[in-house]
Structure 1
Amino acid sequence: MAKRPTIIDVARHAGLSKSTVSLVLQNSPLVKQETRKRVEQSMQALNYVYNRAAANLRGAEAGLIGLVINDLRNPFFAEFAASAQMAFAEHGFATVIANTDEDTAIQDQVIASMVEHGVSALIMSPAYGDDGAVFERIARAGIPALQVLRMANADTGRFPFASLDYEAGSIAAARHLVEIGAKDIAFVGGLPDRAVTHERMAGYRAVIAETGAEPFTLLGRPTRAFGRDAALKLSHDPRRLDAVLCFNDLVALGMLSGFAETGVAIGRDIALIGFDDIEECALAFPQLSSVHCDIGAFGRNAAATMLAWLETGERPPEKAFSPVTLTVRDSSGRR
């Protein structure tokens, strides 16, 4: 007896994703007419019969998007997830959000569960260190998957990557520090074996090389606690720094506290710039300069990219980088 064609067979024949075919079968208004016609032609060519009774048993999972986030405790990633979720909701999609806490085992577990429950697509800010097995699981399921903010799998042909132009932001921040007269500038925070650390540090290194000065880096976990400890250490270092560019705002906010403890006046004795521009930067004292990434808009754009992928079957570009800007406040605005 010949094997009955499946939804995956239809997707392959039509040259579309499994999720797009599923949307057609659900009569989703998101699907363009030309895409619907391609699916119907493939169904006819393969003699595919849609089992609506079985599909109704899976109805709760229809139109479900998986958001897999490496660190929801960080306001930067939390705002991304909330913005993407709201954008999907506006288009009738429900989302299931999982925090992996930078643990690849948890990441594997939650993605396996999402795949089993029939998510239509995945957006991932992945944990580093995966051996590739989780991405192969996604590929076998035929689910569109977009990597955002950090790239854990280099195969962007299958798993496109969208992020922010971190290097440009780092260049803008470092040049601003040079322009206000800083000569001894440090880069603080970020784990040394992470690509995102090198991206955020690349612009700093380029600008320091232009000045002929020596770069000075103090790397570590991108947390408030590390930032405070770094400030305490640098306050007693014989090398007199006059500016610091931080890996992220959490490190910078921690440094605000550490420098305050030792009597170092931010904005006068030392200039300080964060990275991400989370809401707290404008509420801190002194207000914190930061590389503004507009993570809310980025989250909405990531959702729009995925919706277009589901609607048309067209893949997003393999790599896409959104622009960033520098927001100057009191921590670096006056010398």
Structure 2
Amino acid sequence: MRRPTIIDVANSAGVSKSTVSLVLQGSTQVRPETRKLVHTAMKEIGYVYNRSAANLRSTGTALIGLVINDLTNPFFTEFATSLQMALGSRGYAVVLANTNEDPELQDQVVGAMLEHGVSALILSPAYGDVTNTLSAVKRAGIPLMQVLRQVESETGRFPFIAPDYAEGGRAATQYLIETGARNIAFVGGLDGAEVTQERLSGYISAMKDNHLQPIVKTGESSRSFGHEATVRLFKEHPACDAAVCFNDLVAFGMINACHETQAKIGTEFQIVGFDDIKEASECWPALSTVHCGVSEFGEQVADTVLLWLQDGVAPAQHARTTTRLVLRQTTKDMV
């Protein structure tokens, strides 16, 4: 349900938006009967005054906190950069913190940001217990949006937005099948993590629809794991002819291992990454991958959070953005 705005209050009370603003500010210019009318309308439609946004407008403080789980991963760095630029162009300064996948550090940095008066928080969370983090945000009464990863199911209070990971995994797998691949592995991603499960679910769905047996090798989302997993994959599953990777970093590791073993990438063995970070188009051979539109995603998150903060228009509780498969040199042409 859409959150009521100041315009809704004005329409309900039969007064102007500026009159409602004066009432919210406690101005003595408004007659008592008009003030009562506005407060009655607020109660009837469920309008909640966003005092942090009002303070931002009156004091000129324009700080938004951005907490990222792993800035060493180029995917998250590209997102943070895009978001910071989008908010900066609108006059907002971004306070940025990297938690290095540590929920205790996440508690600390969020607490520090709240103490310094951020008006909203954007959180790409570390996996683990987020109770303390979210309790502190609730007490502060400011907006918080979960992005890229969801660790809290209370999306009415903490909305969530991310690319459609499951559809990306399905599209990548289906394409490989249509090029003739039959022994396709899914490689990388921490076992049990929600993002892994989503990307994996699309792969599993496509494999089952085509009556093919899944080969799953979960693990760290890193080049080193991609390299190590490829060596094991070739030993344990010599007929394996393609892989869908949890992310592009895993795919880069697989490419390196293929170079070492002289496996012919794109013909004998196909590789599809996930995320489409900048390096994907610059490595050799250039990596086919699932494009998540991370730059555009950052701009969309900025627009959504500012609309929520400034105008009281709450985001959808759960939103997905589109993904698409980008074909380069690590895959065959369609059969």
TM-score calculated relative to the size of structure 2: 0.84
**2:95 alignment partner, SS class:** strand
Q: How does 1:149-228 map to 2 (within 5 A)?
A: 149-228=148-227
Q: How does 1:1-335 map to 2 (within 5 A)?
A: 37-44=19-26, 62-334=61-333
Distance 2:231 2:130 in 1: 38
Deviation at 1:235, TM superposition (A): 2.4
The 1:256/1:36 distance shift into structure 2, 3 A limit, reads farther
The 1:120/1:267 distance shift into structure 2, 3 A limit, reads same
Please give the per-residue CA displacement for 1:172-191, whole angstroms capped at 9, x wherever unaligned. 10110001000111100001
Structure 1: segments with no counterpart, 5+ residues = 1-13, 18-32, 47-54
**2:166 alignment partner, SS class:** helix
Matched-pair contact (CA < 8 Å) for 1:235–1:259: no
The 1:313/1:214 distance shift into structure 2, 3 A limit, reads same
The 1:81/1:273 distance shift into structure 2, 3 A limit, reads same
Amino acid in the other structure paired with 1:320: A
**1:331 alignment partner, SS class:** coil
Amino acid in the other structure paired with 1:169: G
Amino acid in the other structure paired with 2:25: M
Matched-pair contact (CA < 8 Å) for 1:64–1:96: yes
**2:150 alignment partner, SS class:** coil
Query: How many residues in Structure 1 have an aligned counterpart in Structure 2?
Result: 297
Deviation at 1:260, TM superposition (A): 1.1
Deviation at 1:231, TM superposition (A): 1.1
Q: Percent identity?
A: 44
Superposition RMSD in Å:
2.3
Amino acid in the other structure paired with 2:212: A
Deviation at 1:36, TM superposition (A): 6.0
Distance 2:181 2:206 in 1: 12
Matched-pair contact (CA < 8 Å) for 1:35–1:312: no
Deviation at 1:16, TM superposition (A): 7.5
Amino acid in the other structure paired with 1:42: L
Matched-pair contact (CA < 8 Å) for 1:235–1:262: no
The 1:35/1:68 distance shift into structure 2, 3 A limit, reads farther
Deviation at 1:97, TM superposition (A): 0.5
The 1:187/1:36 distance shift into structure 2, 3 A limit, reads farther
Please give the per-residue CA displacement for 1:202-231, whole angstroms capped at 9, x wherever unaligned. 111011001111111000011111001111
Q: Which moved more, 1:129-138 or 1:301-310?
A: 129-138
Deviation at 1:40, TM superposition (A): 2.6
Distance 2:23 2:4 in 1: 12
Please give the per-residue CA displacement for 1:251-285, whole angstroms capped at 9, x wherever unaligned. 00011001111111111211100000111111111
Report the counterpart of residue 28 of structure 1 in structure 2: none
Matched-pair contact (CA < 8 Å) for 2:114–2:140: yes
Amino acid in the other structure paired with 2:135: E
Distance 1:216 1:238 in 2: 9
Amino acid in the other structure paired with 1:178: I
**2:330 alignment partner, SS class:** helix
TM-score calculated relative to the size of structure 1: 0.84
